[in-house]
Structure 1
Amino acid sequence: MSGYLLRRSIGALIVMWAVATLVFFMLRIVPGDPFAAMMADAGDMEAVEALRRKFGLDQPMYIQYLKWFSNALQGDFGTSIYGARVPVQQLLLEAIPRTLSIAGLSFIIALIIAVPAGLIAATKRNTGWDHGVTLFAFLGLSMPDFWLAILLIVFLAVNISWLPAIGYEPLSAGFWPWLSHLILPAIAVGTGFAAIIARMIRSAMLEVLKTDYMRVARAKGLKQSTLMIYHALPNALIPVVTVIGIAFALLMSGAVVVENVFSIKGLGRLLIQGILNRDYPVVQGAILVVSAIFVFSNLLVDMLYGVIDPRIRYDS
């Protein structure tokens, strides 16, 4: 398995390099630059050229790329063109914990909802419980993240004042202030994720329940809970884990929109502001981090296959 993981890790690094390179050149192919837009009203072209020289945008594109890539290998993503020349690393270090907090809590909420719902729907097929889970999945997949976020703000933050409507508190400020600012965005992001996982668990469990070894286990007189948890669920996890790995990466894209609704300065909001301002260093750094999360979440899923099913041996 070590050989397989080494190959997959090298492939992951190549994918990240390709994404970073593509983003670098696509940003610069678009006509104009951030300084021309910044100084458009002033009409001071000498100041624009001075800023271009300062940030190296007057050099040939391949030289810009080589300098950026060599610095990125050392963890230096440059400084923000806007934002008082703050280093991009500092902006990312402030934004990453916020986005990962939302994604992590969304993941936990989704699993808490989806696993029992999927098991109940599979064991009580074509009953009211199954129809209820199907309805929840349909609604969860149909509601956009931002629309659900606005509803949560209106009902739980404005009308009832149970939870804060906007903002973020770091964990250093206390556990409850940190958690209370994450609950609403996590529910908004995690609801659709829970719907996907619940339907996937139901489908995978129904396939497993038809197998011969499950009939033998029932003939032995095992309890229904023992059959479902210790026999059926572990054998249904392979397709479920695949979907969970993909969906966890997609939580990052969901957080992009929800962060703007709740005014949380995470990766999504940082990326959108960077794109609107044509802040090259910020956009390149943020996309590199997001692509790393996507790539390595898939790598983690591949590693879990061998843990869940010992029959899977990559080296063979």
Structure 2
Amino acid sequence: MLKFIIKRLINLIPTLLIVAVIVFVITRIIPGDPASVMLGPQASASDIHRLKEQLGLNDSMIVQFIHYLNGLIHLDLGESFAYKQSVLTLIIERFPNTLILTICAFAFALLISIPAGVIAATRKGSLLDYAFTVTSLFGISIPVFWLGLMLVLLFSVTLGWLPATGMGEAGESMWSFIAHLILPSITLSTIPMANFSRITRASMLEVMNQDYITAAKAKGVSRFFVTMKHGFKNALTPILTVAGMEISSLLGGAVLTETIFSWPGMGQLVVEAINKRDYIVVQGSVIFLAVLYVLINLIVDVLYKVVNPKISYDQKGGE
């Protein structure tokens, strides 16, 4: 297992290099430049040129990219143009908020979808099964930004039950923090909830048709014990695969949710940086999330071995 982990960590280097090249090129082709945005529309051409010189934006693209790679090699994500702070400092300030939102959305998705998928599989063809299937399709299809706005309209504007934006003040009660967390968590959890429900149902149906399940039922083993002990345990591996991908997607895909609810996390930081043409913050944030994505997938691969000791890392994925 140690050899597998080391090999995956080494493979992280070319992955990050590709990500660095892509995000560097994309940020440079966005119309506008940081100097013009920072100085405003009334700034003179000479002032803009002077600021661009100070920021190193007058250097060629190759020179800028070399400086950027040199910083990455030394674990330096650079300094923000707009915030005048280290990008790593900004990430450390904002990432815990995104992590809180992601964990709550992920937990909410698991608590609802896993039981729903198991129930749908054990009652295949029933009205309950069709209801769960239609609901999951609805969850995958619905646009996140539309759902977020509708939840705000219903629970904040119309009913007045929950706050619409922000995450509460530090001195407020715990309920205030939880109240601010409910709507963005539900919004962010919708797609993973639908995916978990579908993959759980499909995996359970495949396992429940196996001969050893039939034999256990013939021996008079209780339905609940067969479903959870033999069925769900053996159906867990595909669910872990989806879990790894979903939690990575939640971390990187919270941009819309955080923007709608003004949640001060990584997603909102990236949107603000794009609006201000703060290339350095965008680049550093994407690199940081790319590292997390690879590490989460590595953790999921290690969990495969815990769930199913028969898995061989030497054969998995041709490695």
**Structure 2-normalised TM-score?**
0.91
Question: Which is worse superposed, 86-95 or 137-146?
Answer: 86-95
Distance 1:189 1:42 in 2: 40
Match of 2:212 in 1: 213
Indicate the SS of the match to 1:314.
coil
Match of 1:189 in 2: 188
Question: Which is worse superposed, 195-204 or 252-261?
Answer: 252-261
Residue type of the partner of 1:163?
L
Question: Which is worse superposed, 86-95 or 284-293?
Answer: 86-95
Within 5 Å, give how 1:90-239 maps onto structure 2: 90-169=89-168, 175-239=174-238
Distance 2:31 2:136 in 1: 44
Cα gap change, 1:14 to 1:172, in 2 (>3 Å) = farther
Residue type of the partner of 1:142?
S
Within 5 Å, give how 1:238-249 maps onto structure 2: 238-249=237-248
Residue type of the partner of 1:276?
N
Match of 2:54 in 1: 54
Question: Which is worse superposed, 21-30 or 108-117?
Answer: 21-30
Identity percentage over the alignment? 36
Q: Deviations over 1:242-298 (max 9, x none)?
A: 122112222234411011110112111211222222111111111112222222222
Distance 1:172 1:245 in 2: 35
Cα gap change, 1:107 to 1:171, in 2 (>3 Å) = farther
Match of 1:269 in 2: 268
Cα gap change, 1:164 to 1:282, in 2 (>3 Å) = same
Distance 1:174 1:77 in 2: 36
Distance 1:262 1:171 in 2: 18
Q: CA deviation at 1:32?
A: 5.2
Residue type of the partner of 1:70?
N
Q: CA deviation at 1:51?
A: 1.2
Alignment root-mean-square deviation, CA: 2.1
Match of 1:288 in 2: 287
Match of 1:305 in 2: 304
Q: Is the 8 A contact 1:3 1:315 kept in 2?
A: no
User: Which consecutive residues of structure 1, in runs of 5 or more, have no partner in the other structure?
Assistant: none
Q: Deviations over 1:88-124 (max 9, x none)?
A: 2222122211111111101000000011100100111
Indicate the SS of the match to 2:22.
helix
Answer yes or no: is 1:5 the counterpart of 2:8.
no
Match of 1:33 in 2: 33
Distance 2:40 2:194 in 1: 48
User: Which consecutive residues of structure 2, in runs of 5 or more, have no partner in the other structure?
Assistant: none
Residue type of the partner of 2:185?
A
Match of 2:20 in 1: 20
Distance 2:78 2:8 in 1: 29
Q: Is the 8 A contact 1:145 1:258 kept in 2?
A: yes
Q: Is the 8 A contact 2:165 2:261 kept in 1?
A: yes
Distance 1:48 1:7 in 2: 47
Cα gap change, 1:26 to 1:132, in 2 (>3 Å) = closer
Residue type of the partner of 1:262?
F
Indicate the SS of the match to 1:250.
helix
Paired positions, count: 315
Distance 2:37 2:276 in 1: 9
Cα gap change, 1:202 to 1:171, in 2 (>3 Å) = farther
Cα gap change, 1:168 to 1:121, in 2 (>3 Å) = same
**Structure 1-normalised TM-score?**
0.92
Residue type of the partner of 2:49?
E
Distance 1:173 1:55 in 2: 40
Q: Deviations over 1:201-241 (max 9, x none)?
A: 11111111111111111122111111111111111112121
Residue type of the partner of 2:188?
V
Question: Which is worse superposed, 249-258 or 4-13?
Answer: 249-258
Q: Deviations over 1:183-214 (max 9, x none)?
A: 11010110221111111111111111111111
Cα gap change, 1:231 to 1:172, in 2 (>3 Å) = farther
Q: CA deviation at 1:3?
A: 0.9
Q: Deviations over 1:15-62 (max 9, x none)?
A: 123202321233235565322455573352222222122112223333
Distance 2:236 2:179 in 1: 32
Question: Which is worse superposed, 55-64 or 185-194?
Answer: 55-64
Q: Is the 8 A contact 1:145 1:254 kept in 2?
A: no
